[in-house]
Structure 1
């Protein structure tokens, strides 16, 4: 049996990957949470999730994509970075994080192997997350300017973070089939957010495409031709009740973009501030 490691915040002894109900801070699942093992099961379990907490519990135990399951668990057990070798890893899909009644959904690409896959929280534990959380704090969405681990006291107001794909993919590149299998989770997120949603912020073109596809799948009106992604690009999505949702693009907070200044703090702050209006 693999030796147990202490959780960096709670000190609890937990294996990696962390089983549901083992005591990881913020774990939405328990031993009774249903597990999706096929694309059909993802569709069924996503569509029947009654609320955000139950949806994220089901997301967090999904095993429908064999390649992604192997990768995320291999990283969690034998593929850890040396700097994190003494820490337990979440090793499961990344559930959403934030305000369950948020007016803004932030859609990313997928968890990072040593970020979300380690900490269990979206955009937490890597340089991309450091850049994003600082901006979320400056613009009033986040309680703290950093997010380092589940259980660190971070909280979001009026914003919830989701992703196009919920498992860390090799080379940060999920396959088209994996993206399609995961899409019902995002579609259900959109449905549950619909009553109070006013805007969707998409980080990167994959997040943009996933949000458009999800909106179309749940019956929202999507402009034609397809709106083009770009930083600060906007489109309007129509809801069945006559309301409209702003779809807003931003360059991704990846190191490639932030280190080269393609995306600066001021650029991200401007987009985020606009979402509060």
Structure 2
């Protein structure tokens, strides 16, 4: 059953307890479930893993104030999805156009590693977000990393073995029970390595590799 996201959600005991600990250590941090950010009627929905300790968990906005957001928002700006490339604060007047960003898990997990039960518990929120996205005419999903990729397939009730994750992969997703309820609105799932500090510093993901994903998305959106 799909349900609407709430910043007051405390359904995952481990995560709720961890956020309480973080809030006690950092009283000025947001330290709650982080809502999606961006255009209310997007054509591109980007799915990350979870809020970062000193990024979204601090600021309350996905990929804002942390290292991963530097490459993401710079790339969004370059391809016309953002009005500027900065992402340091929720007060920076950043706006997204045709694009919205969310996470597979809405709460900061210890060591940035949600467990499988937390991914499943939070998945109904992602399912509702994707359903709204499709109903509004959105067609392009971008999964940042394998966990986000798997969470998308779970939300759409699709078997992960049929749609393997790899950087640069493009999957045309078939109609499913959710899609049929929404007039079989089709979706395309694009995969990228996550724009984390580890991936970029080890050169597993370079700026040019990341930009190639957005070049493909933009080309497909304008075709």
Using structure 1 for the length normalisation, give the TM-score: 0.73
- Paired position in structure 1 for 2:17: 70
Shift of 1:229: 0.5
Q: Map 1:87-166; keep pairs closer than 5 Å.
A: 88-166=28-106
Instruction: Return the alpha-carbon distance in structure 1 between the equivalents of residues 142 and 130 of structure 2.
Output: 12
Q: How many residues align?
A: 212
> What are structure 2's unaligned runs of at least 5 residues?
none
Instruction: Return the alpha-carbon distance in structure 2 between the equivalents of residues 201 and 183 of structure 1.
Output: 16
**Helix, strand or coil at the partner of 1:276:** helix
**Helix, strand or coil at the partner of 2:162:** coil
Does structure 1 residue 227 correspond to structure 2 residue 163?
yes
Structure with more contact order per residue of length (Cα contacts < 8 Å, sep ≥ 6)? 2
User: C-alpha offsets along residues 184-208 of structure 1, whole Å, 9 cap, x if unaligned?
Assistant: 0001001111121111000000000
Using structure 2 for the length normalisation, give the TM-score: 0.90
User: C-alpha offsets along residues 35-62 of structure 1, whole Å, 9 cap, x if unaligned?
Assistant: xxxxxxxx5xx53x4xxxxx4xx2x221
Does the 8 Å contact 1:223/1:237 carry over to 2? Answer: no
Shift of 1:156: 0.5
RMSD: 1.6
Does the 8 Å contact 1:120/1:149 carry over to 2? Answer: no
User: C-alpha offsets along residues 80-110 of structure 1, whole Å, 9 cap, x if unaligned?
Assistant: 4xxxxxx811010110000111011101100
Q: Which 4+ stretches in 1 moved above 3 angstroms? A: 222-225
Change (3 A) 1:75 1:231: same
Instruction: Return the alpha-carbon distance in structure 2 between the equivalents of residues 170 and 242 of structure 1.
Output: 38
Q: Map 1:1-277; keep pairs closer than 5 Å.
A: 46-47=2-3, 49=4, 55=5, 58=6, 60-78=7-25, 80=26, 88-195=28-135, 196-216=137-157, 222=158, 225-238=161-174, 239-240=179-180, 241-277=183-219
Change (3 A) 1:63 1:271: same
User: C-alpha offsets along residues 147-195 of structure 1, whole Å, 9 cap, x if unaligned?
Assistant: 1111220010111111110000001111111111111000100111112
Q: Which has the larger Rg?
A: 1
Instruction: Return the alpha-carbon distance in structure 2 between the equivalents of residues 150 and 207 of structure 1.
Output: 24
Shift of 1:223: 6.8
Change (3 A) 1:118 1:244: same
> What are structure 1's unaligned runs of at least 5 residues?
1-42, 50-54, 81-86, 217-221
Shift of 1:132: 1.0
